């Protein structure tokens, strides 16, 4: 019967007891007719987890309990987890439509049950994505808020370092994911975590990718980190932005009064970097921005040249 659903037992050693075998038979029958392939069975599992029909969801938990499925990898997509799936697609609006409302398991209870059966809240999905990050991105939906709260209660860590050494906030800033950034700020998480090597902040990521709107959100929340220095090359976010010709980010940084004299006395001051950029590209706009900012702060222009 197990093979008829495209399942195997690579994690299981020894035979099933009569009680276990009976539980498995009931669970598979509850999910639906035999699919003869793993992809079809995975669809059953996805629907049970996403919709929360109690008998079917409990059937999935039974399969996880007996090691017939691993909630940290899909049968047909090893890089996707079931917590990633529910964060993307979990909902509550099928109760009373596809099944009776009294046969519904809440999103929070589904997340908690999956974690009890081995699902790892900080296990990454595709492209370094975390379930919590997906929930934060979908924050405009009440279901996503419930999922996010449940993931945090189960141990999901907003400051978890991804495989690329960054936090989900770094990634959100780099891609301009303002939904996630807004949720992050509203929940009071720190807006200036360093990477795992202590070298780069989200503000520096914004400078490297010219994400002015994302940076403005961070600095409006807390500008204390605006002049932090990268431990690798000694540059601030403003210097990163100028070096990369990220004009919209330069404007945001100057609006929030970034230090325009950082690196004073060296060849890496913001103005000297902007001058080199102008020589290479013919674009003098960043030099003009710095001059205007200096004038607004009553900083003598000659200091820009030191």
Give the pLDDT of the chain (306 residues) as one tens digit per residue.
Answer: 888 898 876 554 557 889 999 999 999 999 999 998 999 999 999 999 999 999 999 999 999 999 999 999 999 888 899 999 999 999 999 999 999 999 999 999 999 999 999 999 999 988 778 999 999 999 888 999 999 999 999 999 999 999 889 999 999 999 999 999 999 998 899 998 888 877 899 999 999 999 999 999 999 999 989 999 998 888 999 999 999 999 999 999 999 999 999 887 778 899 999 999 999 999 999 999 999 999 999 999 889 887
CA 60, CA 132: separation in Å to the nearest integer? 22
CATH level 3 topology of 1-157:
1.25.40
Q: How far is CA 81 from CA 15, 59, 97, in A?
A: 27, 18, 27
List alpha helices for the chain, DSSP H.
Answer: 18-31, 38-51, 54-65, 82-89, 107-116, 131-137, 142-153, 168-175, 178-186, 202-209, 212-221, 237-243, 247-255, 270-281, 285-296
Helix (H, G, I), strand (E, B) or coil at 127: helix
CATH superfamily of 162-306: Ankyrin repeat-containing domain (1.25.40.20)
- Intra-chain end-to-end CA distance of the chain, in Å: 79
Helix (H, G, I), strand (E, B) or coil at 239: helix
Picking from 53, 187, 29, the residue whose alpha carbon sits closest to that of residue 107 is 53
Residues 286 and 262 sit within 8 Å (Cβ to Cβ): no
CA 7, CA 229: separation in Å to the nearest integer? 52
CA 71, CA 62: separation in Å to the nearest integer? 12
Contacts of 9 (CB under 8 A, 6+ apart): 2, 67, 68
Task: Give, in degrees to the nearest 5, the angle at Cα 191 between 173 and 254.
Answer: 75
CB atoms within 10 A of CB 159: 10
Residues 211 and 174 sit within 8 Å (Cβ to Cβ): yes
pLDDT at 122: 95
Question: How far out from the chain centre does Cα 76 lie?
Answer: 23
Q: Phi/psi at 271 (nearest 5 deg)? A: -70, -40
pLDDT at 9: 64
Q: Map out the domains of the chain as residue ranges.
A: 1-157, 162-306
pTM of the predicted model as reported, rounded to 2 decimal places: 0.85
Same topology, domains 1-157 and 162-306? Answer is yes
pLDDT at 170: 94
Residues 53 and 99 sit within 8 Å (Cβ to Cβ): yes
């Amino acid at each position: 019967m197990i093979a008829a659903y495209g399942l195997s037992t690579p994690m299981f050693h020894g035979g099933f007891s009569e009680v276990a075998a009976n539980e498995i038979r009931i669970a598979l029958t509850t999910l639906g007719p035999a699919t003869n392939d793993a992809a079809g069975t995975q669809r059953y599992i996805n629907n049970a987890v996403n919709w929360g029909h109690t008998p079917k969801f409990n059937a999935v938990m039974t399969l996880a309990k007996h090691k017939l499925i691993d909630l940290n990898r899909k049968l047909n997509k090893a890089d996707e987890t079931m917590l990633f799936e529910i964060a993307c697609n979990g909902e509550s609006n099928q109760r009373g439509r596809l099944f009776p409302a009294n046969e519904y398991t809440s999103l929070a209870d589904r997340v908690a049950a999956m974690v009890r059966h081995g699902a790892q809240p900080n296990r990454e999905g595709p492209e370094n994505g975390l379930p919590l990050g997906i929930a934060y991105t979908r924050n405009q939906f009440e279901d996503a808020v419930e999922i996010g709260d449940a993931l945090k209660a189960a141990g999901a860590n907003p400051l978890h370092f991804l495989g690329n050494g960054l936090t989900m906030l770094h990634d959100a800033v780099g891609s301009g994911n303002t939904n996630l950034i807004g949720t992050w700020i509203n929940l009071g998480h720190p807006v200036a975590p360093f990477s795992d090597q202590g070298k780069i902040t989200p503000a520096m990521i914004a400078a490297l990718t010219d994400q002015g709107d994302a940076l403005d959100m961070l600095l409006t929340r807390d500008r204390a980190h605006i002049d932090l220095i990268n431990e690798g090359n000694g540059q601030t976010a403003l210097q990163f932005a100028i070096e990369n010709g990220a004009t919209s980010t330069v404007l945001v940084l100057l609006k929030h009064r970034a230090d325009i004299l950082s690196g004073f006395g060296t060849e890496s001051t913001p103005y000297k970097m902007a001058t080199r950029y102008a020589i290479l590209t013919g674009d003098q706009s960043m030099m003009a921005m710095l001059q205007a900012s200096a004038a607004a702060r009553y900083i003598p222009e000659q200091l820009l040249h030191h």
